[in-house]
Structure 1
Amino acid sequence: MAKKRDRIINTQPFITDDASVASSRKRSKVPKTHQQQEKLIEAGISSKIMKVALAQQKEIVDEENAERNPSGAVFAAAAAKTAEEEQRILEEDEKDDDIDAFDGNFEEDDSYHQEEINEDDEKLFESFFVKDAPRQRTLADIIIKKIKDNDADVAEEERPDPELDPKVTKLYKGVAKIMSEYTIGKMPKAFVLITKMERWEDVLYLTEPEKWSPNAMYQATRIFAHHLKNSQIQRFYSYVLLPRVREDIRKNKRLHFALYQALKKSLYKPSAFNKGILFPLCKSGTCSLREAVIIGSILEKCSIPMLHSCVALLNLAEMEYCGTTSYFIKTLLEKKYCMPYRVLDALVAHFMRFVDEIRVMPVIWHQSLLTFVQRYKYELLKEDKEHFQTLLKRQRHHLVTPEILRELQGSRNRGEKEDDPMLTNSSVTTINNPIKEDRFDIPEVPMEED
């Protein structure tokens, strides 16, 4: 009994010590301050509060600036009015934009688009160029000419600025520096505002588009193609994008990947692409074979609505012939669209213009004629096929011409239906009698032993 009582007495201090340590730990912990406070506001609500607070603070600052400087209040009010709409546009672009979905898939080796050009073919194409063709006009040429017409004191060497608010001029001079060094990231918000301005061409001129980086040109094309009207974006394509693309091809003998992407984005509005890039390029009379191959690859890879392709073919067939026009015609014909007879007749007239041509036509001309005959031989009139045979006696290629003649001779004419001898020929009768066989008349089969 004494030993048992000693054990109980000896274990008692350990129990009390553990309890005392546990209680001391609880007492030694200092209560955290955030546990005594109320529940924090959610992150989404706090961000909204901060936005409202910043907006109110900005309004106060703008009112003070307007009182101090009334001249700049007009532009500040316009900027504040469009700030909310601009923020909405930027958020839509960041999430999921229609023009972003229009982009195609590129290979890793497509950083530069390059094609091997035969020198003999290039010399032959040059014989069809328009000699002494005027230099292509750019946006800078148009704005400078407009300023010089209004102010005769401007020197020829100067690059004058249009008459705008000094603050606007200073702002977009800074945007010009950013655009010349742009590589990746968000575009300046002031640049997006250009699409909402009435004198957007003058403001765009201040940003010096001829000095933009290739990536900045791609982003500008994406923004303008989405927000500008067809007539406005057509002028941007013709006076800004096309001269830059041609200059890059002329200097580097290939096209930068970002500029190639910009051309693909420009097809987001195919009507503006035709009027701003394709038609001016062919009408210039100086389109090289390399330029035609690179821009033609855009037409080949991208999907173009049928009506816009028909309009493009109709205009190409009726305009003055250049060496590379046949390449664009061939590219559009290979899309195999069902075209109206008016377009087909215009293409027939286009090829028949060369029946009295003394010059030797390039191979691409014969290839475009072969493509036309292969795709639409059943929709040609009998007279058109006879005219083509006359044409091929004067313009002949030892490899392509026999193929064209073979396609013309073995095809029906427009309006004719394909003959089915099983349905139309009455002399053909169908045999319905069953075949009689003699089951005992079995031929001998040789065995392997024989």
Structure 2
Amino acid sequence: MGKRKNRHQNPEPFLPEGNESVASKKQSKAPKQHQKEEKLISSGMSSKILKEALLQQKEVQEEADPQQNMNHSFFVVEEPPKVEEEDVDEFSGFDETQSQLSDYEEQIDEDDERLLEAFLSKEAGRQQTLADIIVKKIKEKDATVVSESRPLPKLDDTIIEMYKGVGTALSRYTAGKIPKAFKHIPSVQLWEDVLYLTEPENWSPNAMYQATRIFASNLGPKKAERFYKLVLLPRVREDIRKNKRLHFALYQALKKSLYKPAAFFKGILFPLCESRTCTLREAVIIGSILQKVSIPPLHSSVALLKLAQMEYCGTTSYFIKLLLEKKYALPYRVVDAIVHHFMRFLEDTRMMPVIWHQSLLAFIQRYKNELLKEDKDDLRILLEKQKHKLVTPEISRELNNSRNRGEKEDDFMSLASPVSVINKTIEEDRFDIPDVPMEED
């Protein structure tokens, strides 16, 4: 066997006190490049410095020229951004083949689509956008810009030019980093005016997805609702109208918007139904997101209550059906509101679409034991007026084989009909009859 090599060990691993000759030699060397970078100011500290500098700049400018106070008012920071920049900047885009996926096509029936058109409003206008709101506000304050199609808000010229450039970049965006100036919009007081400068209607689908990620994380429920209603929803409806399907990036943006359920319902679902122009294609596409994403029961209960009370549109039944099929334990107030919703069609002479009968069947199947006896009697009268050859018999069967609200299972079994009790007795006695000889006359 070969000889084992001896280790070279430092005979003096620790320097004695007062001997700094070795240490001084090491410190005399120039620091390397990566050591210099470690001494730079961190990103968190730099943002605090920037914030303080902006506030000081605002104070100096207010003292110098009070008339320019409004031009720099958007520098007021309401809350620090919470978005994780690394997560946003790692976005690599969506595959183009994904944007062509349309698994919802099979659920759209042309006959149902034509039938639902009878329940759409013919007078409703175009979906209102953020640009409509800002332009109207600017023209009300300044009569000199009435002739302009897209007037500019009263902000500093450098800010206007910067965010116009951001809008140009977002219109061509596919993947990679989002401009840093855009990430600061949620923390700006006049965030709607600044967002208007970027022209959201011209953003690419991938940019809309990234914007939804940022705004859903950094805006409060009220502001997120405004963004969904005035920016995201009009863009989604326009894409479906033009292409008969929804771009995959916009579909993912809708899923991301459910990060705030209350804002999603108030900013997407309710305005869509209240417009009374929601087509079956739009309902199926947006409804597929409700099917796939878990929603808190409280938000779904409030959504069902609101849908049941608003003016009816054919596709409203589709959203009611989807939320009912999630099988939540609904409060009695919501159950009673849904019963009242269906009873409104007792005197309706129009032929109800199949989705209306299907939503009624889904309601009876899940909540038949939570209904009052009076409600069941009213629903039976409704079934005589509004019939479907396949669905109505199923609804009647579910109503007849259910107990009333407040009754227990044992109480329901004891209240079985007399005919069924007699039949059951005959079946049991058939095997228990003793052999008694017949008497002769």
Deviations 1:221-263 (CA, angstroms, capped at 9, x unpaired) = 1100100111111010000000000000000000000000000
Structure 1 unmatched runs, 5+: 1-34, 101-105, 429-450
What is the aligned counterpart of 1:47 among 21, 24, 37?
Answer: 37
Residues 1:171 and 2:162 aligned together: yes
Q: Distance in 2 between matches of 1:161 and 1:148?
A: 10
| Residue 335 of structure 2: aligned partner | 344
Q: Distance in 2 between matches of 1:276 and 1:140?
A: 16
What is the aligned counterpart of 1:262 among 250, 253, 258?
Answer: 253
Residues 1:308 and 2:299 aligned together: yes
Return the TM-score normalized by structure 2. 0.77
What is the aligned counterpart of 2:272 among 251, 267, 281?
Answer: 281
What is the aligned counterpart of 1:298 among 278, 289, 293?
Answer: 289
| Residues 1:173 and 1:366: Cα distance change in structure 2 (over 3 Å) | same
Q: Distance in 1 between matches of 2:414 and 2:367?
A: 26
What is the aligned counterpart of 1:230 among 221, 229, 236?
Answer: 221
| Residues 1:416 and 1:93: Cα distance change in structure 2 (over 3 Å) | farther
Shift of 1:45: 4.5
| Residues 1:314 and 1:173: Cα distance change in structure 2 (over 3 Å) | same
Residues 1:216 and 2:207 aligned together: yes
| Residues 1:40 and 1:334: Cα distance change in structure 2 (over 3 Å) | farther
| Residues 1:43 and 1:373: Cα distance change in structure 2 (over 3 Å) | farther
| Residue 15 of structure 2: aligned partner | none
Shift of 1:134: 2.2
| Residue 358 of structure 2: aligned partner | 367
What is the aligned counterpart of 1:94 among 62, 86, 90?
Answer: 86
Return the TM-score normalized by structure 1. 0.75
**8 Å contact kept, 2:305–2:338:** yes
Q: How many residues end up aligned between the 2 structures?
A: 376
Residues 1:196 and 2:187 aligned together: yes
Q: What is the letter of the counterpart of residue 246 of structure 1? A: R
| Residues 1:264 and 1:42: Cα distance change in structure 2 (over 3 Å) | farther
| 3-state secondary structure, aligned to 1:344 | helix
Deviations 1:335-380 (CA, angstroms, capped at 9, x unpaired) = 0000100000000000000000100000000000000000000000
Identity %: 61
What is the aligned counterpart of 1:355 among 340, 346, 354?
Answer: 346
Structure 2 unmatched runs, 5+: 1-24, 416-424, 426-441
Q: Distance in 2 between matches of 1:180 and 1:41?
A: 44
| Residues 1:409 and 1:190: Cα distance change in structure 2 (over 3 Å) | same
What is the aligned counterpart of 1:185 among 166, 176, 184?
Answer: 176
Please provide the CA RMSD for this pair. 3.7
Residues 1:153 and 2:144 aligned together: yes
Deviations 1:143-180 (CA, angstroms, capped at 9, x unpaired) = 00111111222244520010001111111011010110
Q: Distance in 1 between matches of 2:370 and 2:32?
A: 69
| 3-state secondary structure, aligned to 1:411 | coil
| Residue 17 of structure 1: aligned partner | none
What is the aligned counterpart of 1:119 among 86, 89, 110?
Answer: 110
Shift of 1:395: 0.3
In our comparison, the structure showing a higher alpha carbon Rg is 1
What is the aligned counterpart of 1:402 among 389, 393, 402?
Answer: 393
Q: Distance in 1 between matches of 2:305 and 2:375?
A: 17
| Residues 1:246 and 1:423: Cα distance change in structure 2 (over 3 Å) | closer
| 3-state secondary structure, aligned to 1:419 | helix
| Residue 433 of structure 2: aligned partner | none
Q: Distance in 1 between matches of 2:223 and 2:198?
A: 17
| Residues 1:224 and 1:349: Cα distance change in structure 2 (over 3 Å) | same
Q: Distance in 1 between matches of 2:88 and 2:37?
A: 23
Q: Distance in 1 between matches of 2:225 and 2:412?
A: 54
Deviations 1:383-412 (CA, angstroms, capped at 9, x unpaired) = 111111100001000000000000000111
| 3-state secondary structure, aligned to 1:164 | coil
Q: Distance in 2 between matches of 1:145 and 1:335?
A: 41
Deviations 1:47-94 (CA, angstroms, capped at 9, x unpaired) = 2224479969x99xx89xx7xx98899999997x97x955xx45x342
| Residues 1:254 and 1:42: Cα distance change in structure 2 (over 3 Å) | same
Q: Distance in 1 between matches of 2:202 and 2:394?
A: 49
Q: What is the letter of the counterpart of residue 112 of structure 1? A: L
Shift of 1:136: 1.6
| Residue 30 of structure 1: aligned partner | none
Shift of 1:300: 0.5
